[in-house]
Amino acid sequence: MNELPIHPIPSAVSKITGKRARHFRVLRSYKTLYLMMLPAIIYYIVYRYVPMYGVVIAFKDYNILEGIVNSPWADPWYKHFQVFYESPYFSELLVNTFLISVYKLIFGMFPPLALAILLNECRVRWFKSAIQTLSYMPHFLSWVIIYGICLMLLSENSGILNRWIVESGGRSIPFLTSTDWFRSVLVGSEIWQHTGWSAIIYLAAMAGIDPTLYEAARVDGASRLRMIWHITLPGIRNVIVLLLILKLGSVLDAGFEQIYIFYNVQVYPVADILDTWVFRTGLEQLNFSLASAVGLFKSAICLILVLGSNALAKKWGQGIW
């Protein structure tokens, strides 16, 4: 009987060598792109990853004069987390942060998408450019300026809107000092500032849709609404899911700068969030350990939300990784 030829089995060393060679070939092929990425990578390493060492402050009785290394460890190790949890404001802060973030997420998601669709369907170039420019200009305004605009419009005594209401026979509404209206002001000003800028991302995604799909739909007699529903929206579904997952990663931020500028003592019950409380209780009193503990708590919750939302999105084949 003829013996079958025996093929040599490649060793583990040769496999590793082959993988390294392939990696180097890929690096050489895309070296220009990797060089372009280098500044961003360095930025994230220096300003995002290296400072993560400071997380140990949450488990220490940090003293700014002794430094991180020489400060004594907290006893027990969860001491600062316990202080935050046992605070009488814990549930109120968590509810306010969550509700404001969810309101901004839900109500702030559709206006940019609707604006992008309208601009994409607009065939008058000058009008499209003018609307797009006007819509994303508020993005470049600071919250201090936006608060000044809201004050002129919504002030109870001298606001333009309240003047119209009073002149129409109604009573002025304390938009900026009422617990019933304050969250609406926050969400509305957030939408006004970011709608135009967020629409640019959707417009860029729509530009990547194959135009032959629209031509085929026109030949079949599809209306504009049908093409939007069956071509445009499915074509940018990946971008919609991506932005949703990324926003869930910062769902407990709620916008510290905006709320810190807008809020006042009268609206603390509905406006005081984790970040503003930490700023007052932790940083103003130099309790850095407490501030770090709350920050770590927020990061852990956001990580769980991102992983959960990505796992859920994967079921529809739209996960980030």
Domains and CATH numbers, the chain: 1-59 (no CATH), 74-314 (1.10.3720.10)
**Would the pLDDT of 249 be above 80?**
no
**Would the pLDDT of 9 be above 80?**
no
- Give which of 48, 97, 112 is closest to 254, Cα–Cα: 97
Name the amino acid, one letter, at 309: S
Q: What is the mean pLDDT of residues 191-217?
A: 91
What pLDDT, on a 0 to 100 scale, did the predictor assign at position 148? 93
Q: Tens digits of per-residue pLDDT, 17-34?
A: 667 778 788 878 888 888
- Cα separation, 127 vs 122, whole angstroms: 8
What pLDDT, on a 0 to 100 scale, did the predictor assign at position 13? 54
Cis peptide before 76 (omega within 30 of 0): yes
Q: What is the number of alpha carbons within 13 Å of residue 301 lying toward its C-beta?
A: 15
**Would the pLDDT of 37 be above 70?**
yes
What pLDDT, on a 0 to 100 scale, did the predictor assign at position 284? 81
pLDDT class for 2, splitting at 50, 70, 90?
low
- Cα separation, 136 vs 198, whole angstroms: 8
- Cα separation, 295 vs 277, whole angstroms: 12
| Residue 221 Rama label (left phi>0; alpha psi -120 to 50; beta) | left
- Cα separation, 57 vs 4, whole angstroms: 67
Q: How many CB atoms lie within 10 A of CB 250?
A: 15
Q: Tens digits of per-residue pLDDT, 71-130?
A: 999 988 889 999 888 888 889 999 999 999 999 988 988 999 999 999 998 888 899 889
H or E element at residue 59:
none
Length of the chain: 321
Q: Give SS3 for 284.
A: coil
- Give which of 92, 91, 62, 86 is closest to 74, Cα–Cα: 62
Q: Which residues sit opposite 73 in a β-bridge?
A: 60
- Percent of the chain that is helix, strand, coil (3-state, to 5): 75, 0, 25
What pLDDT, on a 0 to 100 scale, did the predictor assign at position 317? 65
- Give which of 175, 310, 182 is closest to 246, Cα–Cα: 310
What pLDDT, on a 0 to 100 scale, did the predictor assign at position 206? 92
pTM, full prediction: 0.80
